[in-house]
Structure 1
Amino acid sequence: MTQSEKPLSPDSAMPDLRARIDALDARLVALLAERTALIDEAARIKSREDLPARIDSRVEEVAANVRRLALEHGADPDMIETVWRVMMDHFIAQEDRQLSPGVQR
């Protein structure tokens, strides 16, 4: 039996740690849902102001901001930037669908 296959002892700290991680995941999902709603609002504003879904200068500004925040919080800035770029690509696609209804993607 390898170390990773060993059952946890009843007094192990792992269940408590896993509960904390699960609670944090729930908060992160709620925050991402809130960000999704803000992106919907951004799409409405962009539609009204005839702006594109992707504004490269803003993408780079957000990437720089999250790198700085990652460093301030002791997190890996490369990992954070990678996660945010994936997230930004998703949200830009979300905006693009709202700005171009009826266009097949």
Structure 2
Amino acid sequence: MGALRLQIDEIDRELIALLVERAAHIDRAAELKPAAGLPAHIDSRVEEVVNNVRAAANGAGLDADLAEDVWRRLIGWSIAREEMAMQHSGIKGADE
């Protein structure tokens, strides 16, 4: 059981590293969206991401409802991060 727990802990560290990488891309999106005239929150993109995640989860044998729940939380956090970055840089339309 100890070895299995160590493997799970390693996977958790890898997941954290991937989330950090994803957050860096969110930061870059917050820099690029204003020039493209885009707000932080784009409903169609949110649903596209959720649909992609559900399909990937189904294909991998993971509960798609669980994946959607996790990603909706992650997406909400990401949008809030983008909005904050856009507001701090004085970019108009960050609240749209």
* TM more than 0.5: yes
Question: How far has the Cα of 1:51 moved from its partner?
Answer: 1.0
Runs of 5+ consecutive residues of structure 1 not aligned to the other structure: 1-13
Amino acid at match of 2:79: I
Between 93-102 and 49-58, report the one with greater CA deviation.
93-102
Encode CA deviations 1:61-92: one digit per residue, 9 max, x unaligned. Answer: 00000000001110000000000000000000
Q: Identify which of 44, 56, 71 aligns with 2:31.
A: 44
CA RMSD of aligned residues (A): 1.3
Q: What residue is the counterpart of 1:35 in the other structure?
A: 22
Runs of 5+ consecutive residues of structure 2 not aligned to the other structure: 91-96
Encode CA deviations 1:11-42: one digit per residue, 9 max, x unaligned. Answer: xxx10110010000010000000000000011
Q: What residue is the counterpart of 2:67 in the other structure?
A: 80
What are the residue-to-residue correspondences of 1:1-105 with 2, within 5 Å? 14-101=1-88
Greater helix share, structure number:
2
Q: Identity over the aligned pairs, expressed in percent? A: 48
Question: How far has the Cα of 1:102 moved from its partner?
Answer: 7.6
Q: What residue is the counterpart of 1:3 in the other structure?
A: none
Deviating above 2 A after TM superposition, structure 1's stretches of 4 or more consecutive aligned residues are: none
Q: TM-score, normalised by structure 2?
A: 0.89
Amino acid at match of 2:33: K
Larger Rg: 1
Amino acid at match of 1:92: I
DSSP 3-state at the match of 1:75: coil
Distance 2:40 2:32 in 1: 10
